[in-house]
Amino acid sequence: MAMVGLFWITEDSVWLGAEPVGEGTGVRLTPEGVETLEDERDRSWGWGEVRGIGVRGVPVRSTARRMVSMTFGTLYAALTGDGEQPSTFTACVETSGGTAEVCVFTAVTGGFYTPDEYELSRALLGRLADGGVTVADMMAWRRERESDETPPREEREALLRFWADGPEPAVG
């Protein structure tokens, strides 16, 4: 697994937010389409049915504020023994049948994304929905990496920019 922007990328799928554990909810992006995992309301759509993918409530902080928040959170947990749950945001999958909204956990350490990673991730979601880039492209990048660790911020932003700014989709 490697976290890049709002995405948790494995060798066989891409998660929007963190991959759910146990009975957690989540949104999985596969080469075939989008799946929402919502307890007993799991749903799926092929890419041809997906009109858009959006997000709401994503925790975003500047790099400096993110470091302060992480430090404070660590200190608070050490003093109180109260470990926090990861932050969450809402993923919205728009189809011709309506919009499915799913709460997902953040995948980023500290629970906050940088403004650049957030904006580039939103642009990439648009490219995925319009066919300009595929989940297979993202999974191929993960399979080619020797390490499953999350790349440094500069590399994550460069990847997001590459995927989000790729060639225009073919008009047919």
The whole-model pTM stands at 0.81
pLDDT digits (tens, 9 = 90+) for 108-161: 877 789 999 999 999 999 999 999 999 999 999 999 988 888 899 899 999 999
pLDDT digits (tens, 9 = 90+) for 82-107: 555 678 999 999 998 999 999 999 98
> Would you state the pLDDT for residue 85?
60
Average pLDDT over residues 36-54: 90
Q: Are 27 and 127 in contact (CB under 8 A)?
A: no
List for the chain the helix, strand, coil content (%; round to 5).
35, 25, 35
The enclosing H or E element of 45 equals: strand 43-46
pLDDT digits (tens, 9 = 90+) for 33-43: 999 998 777 89
